[in-house]
Amino acid sequence: MKKKSINSTTSTFTVLHQVCNHIPSHAVSEAAREQGSEDHSRTFSHWSHLVSLIHGKLTHAFGLNDICDTLQVQSGPLSTIRGATPPSRNTLSHANRVRPAAIAETVFWKTLEHLRQRSPRFGRRTFPGKLGKLKRSIHLMDSTVIELVAQCMPWAQHRRRKAAAKCHVRLNFETLLPSFILVDAAREHDSKRARELTAGLKSGEIVVMDRGYVDLDHFKDLDEREVVWVTRIKEGMKCEVMEEREIKAGSKVLEDHWVKLSNGEMARRIKALVVVDGTEREMTFLTNQMEWSAATVVELYRCRWQIEVFFKQMKQTLKLCDLMSYNANGIRWQIWVAMLVQLVMRYLAWVSQWEHSFVRLYALARSLAWQNRDIVSILKRYGTAGEEYRNTARPEQSIFPGFA
């Protein structure tokens, strides 16, 4: 059989163009209209604004000048992306400061809905181990802190000499896609945002959360809605042991108690040995599920690690902490655009049945950003012995974004 030539990966459009094509054509204009921001675009459209930030995030741009200079050089290929135009530095900075970040938020959710309609099974996978028997929706809930400069960003100051933004996320464990995202300053405790994060949960669903979200009144509300919750107990949290349950000999479970919380509600406290970084540690868990085995509850909390992987992709691979704005609105723009880029990358990985790491996927897309190559075809061939493949990107392109 004749091997396919690498020329078969040639495309009419650049990889950046293909990435942007996954965003619905009407989403940006509709979002701008809903936010009343149409008057803010005379020569620099909202679509051009979004494409500029996507390019900056996809290529790891060092700053606004880096984005603007590269787009000026690539103005020809850029114009084919639905008529996008390159901005000047002041224009892009002003757009980040003035145009509502809710536009990027709306575009993210509309793109997620669009990709799900195009591919209904996007991201779906089978639950590992015993969790497949539960046949319930599992949600993971946590937050991550994005450190900022206190002297330049007083709006985000949460300690005497520290400033930070905080991103709260509720992740669907089946698809590992966000169901709810909240971006705010880090000064508020996680527990104050817990009700907003769990507002959309239905009866019978499971939410696994970090102990920062522990709030007894919120737990009572979840009990009334028949939502199963699992978390780690806080240090110094007082509860009265009502009943001790039998433990199997040789089990990693050390204690299994029914307890009464300080607000009078019943819960279950489980102490078990859990492997963390290759060593066993003793952890204590709290849940309102009284019937399942203790091992199942511990396994549920172990799955919370997937949301930490999600944050790692955002902060280390997409360089979420490398922000190019001191303004609260501009930082929200960059966070939502990073979420959007990660979503499209995940979709490309799913379509191409990518089996390698997210870091390698992102590095490949970054190095090919201005190349006319079919990104899906390249991802399908990548790392396979049965097809002829060569890396079409030069090494210096992965170091200097926009280098031609």
- Nearest CA among 317, 343, 307, 306 for reference residue 109: 343
What's the pLDDT score for residue 157? 54
Distance CA 379, CA 352 (A): 6
Answer whether 1's CB lies under 8 Å from 384's CB: no
Q: What's the one-letter identity of residue 237?
A: M
Distance CA 323, CA 359 (A): 20
- Nearest CA among 215, 219, 138, 145 for reference residue 179: 138
Q: CB 282: neighbour CB atoms within 10 A?
A: 11
What's the pLDDT score for residue 170? 94
DSSP 86: P
Q: What's the one-letter identity of residue 88?
A: S
Distance CA 402, CA 404 (A): 6
CB burial of residue 279 (10 Å; 0-12, 13-18, 19+): exposed
pLDDT 10s digits, 110-169: 999 999 999 998 988 777 667 777 888 899 999 988 876 544 445 455 554 566 788 999
Residue located via tokens 């942007």: 20
What's the pLDDT score for residue 402? 40
Task: Going residue by residue through the chain, which has 404 residues, state the pLDDT in tens, using 9 for 90 and above.
Answer: 444 444 457 889 999 999 999 999 899 999 999 998 877 677 899 999 999 999 999 999 988 999 999 999 999 999 999 999 999 999 999 999 999 999 999 999 999 999 999 999 898 877 766 777 788 889 999 998 887 654 444 545 555 456 678 899 999 998 999 999 998 877 778 888 899 999 989 999 999 998 889 999 999 999 999 999 999 998 888 888 888 888 887 788 898 999 999 888 899 999 998 887 778 888 999 999 998 888 889 888 888 889 999 999 898 888 887 777 778 888 899 999 999 999 999 999 999 999 899 999 999 999 999 999 999 999 988 765 444 434 444 444 444 344 33
DSSP 6: G
pTM of the model: 0.86
Residue 360's φ and ψ, nearest 5 degrees, are -70, -40
